[in-house]
Structure 1
Amino acid sequence: MLSSKRVVLPLVRSSFLPGKAKETIEEIEDQELAQIAWAEYYFFSAKAKECVEIVEKYLNHEDVILRLSADMLYTFSNLTLGDAFAAQCAREDVYRCFEKIMKENTLIEEKASCVFAYYVISIFIHIPPQEEIPPLEQYISYLPIGQRLFAISLLAHQTYLKQEYAKAKGIVQGAFFMADGIYPIAMTYLNCVQAMCQINLKEQEEAIQSVDYAWQRAKLDGFMEPFIEYHGLLQGVLEVCIRKKEPDVYKKLMDGVIAFSRGWMKIHNPKMQKEVTDLLTPLEFSIAMLACRDWTNQEIAEHLGLSVNTVKHYVSGILEKLNIDKRDKIKDFVNQ
């Protein structure tokens, strides 16, 4: 059973067996915290509308923990729903909470929650933290283990974005060693980041194993959101693991990928003249990600389980849709 002490994202904090998320939430005695946990459940299950309906009433709550949780969930849910303005407002409120809490004589755990929330919305949207934000590493030890593991996935993701793939992979592996139980949400994100690193280290089989391991457990609770968020960076691994085996699930995942990517671009790259997520299918986007990293058609074909001629056809179609004449120009259209 969860502790009665309030923490941000209580479901992320929870240790439970895969498939037992609902039972875990039902054990939470604090009704407001339980509502946040249900919102998390809907968010990670790719039900953004249901998540927003719950957290709206907590956006201005006097309890900073409930408010921060609501802000994070509201930000990402509204990206999927296409409301970039609402997402931006909630993202900015996290910083306002941070400013307020860091100036007050509050518990170090509350300050850690504020720093954690700020890094969640910064790293996932690829917006560098402001200079006055202290390093996440300074506060990570004050977080409950579930959030700590999730925070480590953020640090690994941040290291990945610096193209330090072996180091990022080592951070993930260290997190798995420190876990004292099963934390399905955090561990799903850790496995996805590990797979991203393995892909760039040309460890394709290991990447497939990482994603498949995470997916087989996450799907027991319907947790699709991590795979939606990381689809582009997983560069075709979802196609390998899910597309042929579970076509109906794959279609639902791809609908989520397109919706999330469009919202993400509205915040991250609003001046881009061509909406890449409107032009390319998820599979084409995966091929574009690999092609712009100098993978050969043969390597892409082997990675995705396609023929070389099929890959050539897709690459030609990508160039035509983007109205460019050279493969190396794809980099201009794909956020890394």
Structure 2
Amino acid sequence: MESLTVRQAAEKWNLSPRTVQQLCTQGRIPGAQKFGKSWAIPADAEKPGDLRRTQHRENPAPAQSAPGRMLESGMLMPLMNTPFRPGHCRETAEAMAAGPQRDIALAEYHYFSGQSELAAREAEPYLTSSHMGAKLSACLIYAYANLPLGRIQQTRFALQELNAVLAAAEERSPQFQAASAFAAAAGAVLLHLPLPREMPDMQGFLPLLPPGPRAFALYVYAHFLYLQGEYGQSIGIVEAALAMGAEQYPIPAVYLHLVAVMDSMSLKQTERAKVHLLSAWDLARPDDLIEGFGEHHGLLGGMLESVIKPGWPEGFKRIIDITYRFSAGWRKVHNPVTGHDVADDLTTTEFAICMPAARGWTNEEIGKHMNISVNTVKRHLSSAMNKLGIDHRYNLKPYMLR
């Protein structure tokens, strides 16, 4: 993404460099990023309105603007919407303007780094905010942060709030509708739930989103296509999004790479899957953004066991801990709504082996992929089928993630 210096932005907007510097410090320029003592300002950023207004960093007044205005202020998942260098995620969140923007950004950081309790606590005050950008972000974070905590009622409440905002968005601005659709779709797709009936065409609202949420929305769309069995189309969208700049936004980029792993494994393209997994890991590891790996474990078809476990055993252990906690909450929401019976008593290794087995992989192919013997594959498959009460691998599919 092209950027401007403070001086270049000052010349473009006919302001003094000092005024532009203050606007950056106050968080009034969406996407502005501090590097050392300098600021990088998105080239397409608009000149902030009402320059007489000031923001008090210590005691900011509650936002009372109209929803359309709120969504212009960079409040929809502000950390997701900020390009930062790997290793500077928390620093980026803490540099944002005090008040809702920083609070939501820190909730994002804590969620994506596996600190669900902190994330839920930071998001909760904004669940009923009059500032709809903050509310949509808070509901999305709160819904997913409560899954690994076993607080299913809180998750359901937040998901219902997202759907209610979307249902009432028809009379609002197109940008408001796009933000509502983004949050509601993200709330449903990772849980593999049906999309809300009010959901507009995703390709229609994508251009109206800020660049970071737009990249994450492309992950959501690619994940949706994966669930429809459209693996080639899904990975095509992912790789196009990454080629067109989504890699600058580390949080969406991690999720895009992960869905590409899912697609590649479904296509039996293990080397392609490995490239995407390591790309996601390289982006995530410097900031410990490992939540997504735990969320997607079962869908990655043993790639974590094959690639991450040998090279980063401690990181793998933490991912598996996230997997167990997240999956327990995920099933409590997913299974009753869909009527599916995704397995809840398999070990992560059993699940990782059963996923490719359910897709027609042979024991030899699974063993080679996961660096284990054929006999070990057979033992885990036998244990899994005994737990599920089935007598043939062809019957595994109804119990796997879909």
Q: TM-score range by the shorter chain?
A: over 0.9
Q: Distance in 2 between matches of 1:121 and 1:6?
A: 20
Give 2:125's aligned amino acid: K
**CA drift at 1:135:** 1.3
Residues 273, 232 of structure 1: CA spacing in aligned structure 2 closer, same or farther, 3 A cutoff?
closer
Q: 2:102 aligns with which of 6, 30, 34?
A: 34
1:256 is aligned to 322
Q: Is the 8 A contact 2:346 2:384 kept in 1?
A: yes
The residue correspondences of 1:238-317 to structure 2 (distance < 5 A) are 238-270=304-336, 276-277=343-344, 279-317=345-383
Whether contact under 8 Å (1:149, 1:186) holds in the other structure is: yes
- The 8 Å contact of residues 299 and 401 in structure 2, kept in 1 or not, is answered as no
Mapped partners of 2:126, 2:198: distance in 1? 27
1: CA distance, partners of 2:288 / 2:144: 18
Return closer, same or farther for 1:273/1:212 CA change in 2, 3 Å cut-off.
Answer: closer
Out of 237, 247, 253, the position equivalent to 1:187 is 253
Letter paired with 1:201 = L
Which residue identity is paired with 1:78?
Answer: N
| TM-score (ref. length: structure 2) | 0.79
Write the letter of the residue equivalent to 1:304: M
Cα deviation 1:289-317 (Å, max 9, x = unaligned) = 11111110011011111111111111111
8 Å CA contact retained: 2:112, 2:292: yes
In structure 1, distance between residues paired with 2:400 and 2:186: 22
Q: What CA distance in whole angstroms lies between the structure 1 residues aligned with 2:399 and 2:213?
A: 34
Q: Structure 1 residue 216 and structure 2 residue 282: aligned?
A: yes
Structure 1 residues 24-67: Cα deviation after superposition (integer angstroms, max 9, x where no partner): 11221242110000000000001110101111111111111111
Matched residues in 2 for 1:41 and 1:225: separation? 10
Gaps of 5+ in 1: none
Please tell me the root mean square deviation across aligned C-alpha atoms, in Å: 1.7
Report which of the two structures shows the higher radius of gyration computed on alpha carbons: 2
* 2:401 counterpart of 1:325: no
CA distance in 2, matches of 1:154, 1:56: 24
After superposition, give the CA deviation of every residue in 1:138-173 in whole Å (9 maximum; x if it has no partner).
Answer: 111011111111111111111111111111111111
**Greater Cα shift, 267-276 or 225-234:** 267-276
SS in 2 for 1:55: helix
8 A contact 1:12–1:186 mirrored in 2: yes
Residue equivalent to 1:83: 151
Q: Assess if the C-alpha contact under 8 Å between 1:208 and 1:240 holds in 2.
A: no
Q: Partners in 2 of 1:179 and 1:212 — Cα distance?
A: 18
Structure 1 residues 238 and 22, CA, compared in 2 at 3 Å: closer, same or farther? same
What is the rounded CA distance, in whole Å, between the counterparts of 1:260 and 1:52 in structure 2?
14
Please give the alpha-carbon distance, in whole angstroms, between the structure 2 residues aligned to 1:25 and 1:58. 17
Q: 1:71 corresponds to which residue?
A: 139
Distance in 2 between residues matched to 1:180 and 1:55, nearest whole Å: 25
Query: In the alignment, which residue of structure 2 is the partner of 1:123?
Result: 189
| Aligned-residue identity in percent | 35
Q: Do 2:215 and 2:246's aligned partners in 1 also have CA atoms closer than 8 Å?
A: no
- State the Cα distance separating 1:233 from its structure 2 match: 0.7
For residue 102 of structure 1, report the CA deviation from its aligned partner.
Answer: 2.5
- 1:75–1:88 Cα contact (<8 Å) kept: yes
| Per-residue deviation, 1:250 | 1.2
- In 2, distance between residues paired with 1:164 and 1:226? 21
Between the aligned partners of 2:247 and 2:198, the Cα distance in structure 1 is: 34
- One-letter code of the match for 2:147? L
SS in 1 for 2:168: helix
Q: Distance in 2 between matches of 1:280 and 1:324?
A: 13
Q: Deviations over 1:218-268 (max 9, x none)?
A: 011010111111111101101112212222221111111011111111111
> Aligned partners of 2:247, 2:364: CA distance in 1, in Å?
41
* CA–CA distance in structure 2, aligned partners of residues 187 and 130 of structure 1: 25
> Partner amino acid for 1:118?
A
1: CA distance, partners of 2:304 / 2:112: 17
2:9 matched to which residue of 1? none
Tell me the distance in 1 between the aligned counterparts of 2:210 and 2:359: 37
| Counterpart check, 1:228 vs 2:294 | yes
Which of 131, 134, 156 is the matching residue for 2:200? 134
Residues 145 and 179 in structure 1, CA contact (< 8 A), matched pair in contact too: no
Q: Under a length normalisation based on structure 1, what TM-score does the superposition of the two structures give?
A: 0.94
Select the residue among 105, 121, 130 that pairs with 1:62.
Answer: 130
